[in-house]
Amino acid sequence: MAPTALIIDDNSVVRSMLRLGLEWRGWSVVEAKNPYEGLVTFREVGPRLVTLDLVMPINDGVDALHLARMIRDEDPEAILFVVSAFATKEDLKAFFQRQGVELFDKTNADSPNFDKLFERVDQLFPQPGAHSG
């Protein structure tokens, strides 16, 4: 059974690119377009991998930073990748490093390049079909 990944991002282009890359690697992918929808989906699906955009409209009182903390608290085993245009800011990098969360740059939301993220997925899950999602 393919492992499950959850993509939480308000940008449909970003969600599509991440979905295609993960599905190509053998993942089952679900999507959410805001933090609240992401929280509900996370709790329903229990994904092995979560990608989370930092800057999204707050929905039903849940913002992305709170969602990141909730995911870490509820399932410390889930791999959480934060994907943000602010990934190059040193203070943000340091904060997420202390939290054990990996941060990936999304410099161009219209045509993002997620090669580093996919390389990291391949390192962590060399045979994703062998893992349970």
Residues 76-106 have pLDDT tens digits of 999 999 888 776 677 777 777 777 788 888 7
4-8 β-sheet, strand order = 28-32, 4-8, 49-53, 79-84, 102-105
CATH no. for residue 63?
3.40.50.2300
Structure tokens at 125: 């899950």
Residue span of the structural domain in which 57 resides? 4-130
Residues 11-64 have pLDDT tens digits of 998 999 999 999 999 999 999 999 999 999 999 999 999 999 988 877 676 788
State the total domains in the chain. Answer: 1
Distance of CA 67 to the CA centre of its chain: 11
